[in-house]
Amino acid sequence: MSEAQTEERPAEAVDEEARNLERNFFFDDEMPPPTMLVYYKDGSFGPVMFHYAVGNETAANIVKAYGFKMLVVSMKDDIEAGALNEAWARGELVLAEWIPPAMPGWELVARNNSEDGPFAVYLTEDDEIEEPGEPVPA
């Protein structure tokens, strides 16, 4: 049995951990700016810091590590998205059509789907911003 492999951790887990560690070392040196956006075919997008995340890291921990504060807004809470919310409830794919509301002081960095519906992620570096203002219609 190798030093890295123990009875508590199967070889597959050790191998996955090693791959994740290699990826982290690679991207620590060569990853693009963390807020650069990556676009996907389904209409979703997100910051490169989420795209290259490995392991069980949460978005909140990743954002904090890069010095940002995060705000998540559900499409359900967007008063301008009434018809899209109805379409989503019928099972239609609406992510690419939804334009998340502007949030003063926050930068839109992600739009994605969840089992509860589409959501947007905003970031700010401003420590003074605690609560977002009212959404600004597009």
Give the pTM: 0.70
The pLDDT score that the predictor gives to residue 50 is 86
The pLDDT score that the predictor gives to residue 1 is 40
The pLDDT score that the predictor gives to residue 12 is 57
Provide the CA 58 distance to its chain's centre, in angstroms: 9
Low-confidence ranges of the chain (pLDDT < 50): 1-7, 9, 21-27, 136-138
The pLDDT score that the predictor gives to residue 54 is 72
**Strands of the chain, DSSP E:** 37-39, 45-47, 69-74, 107-112, 119-124
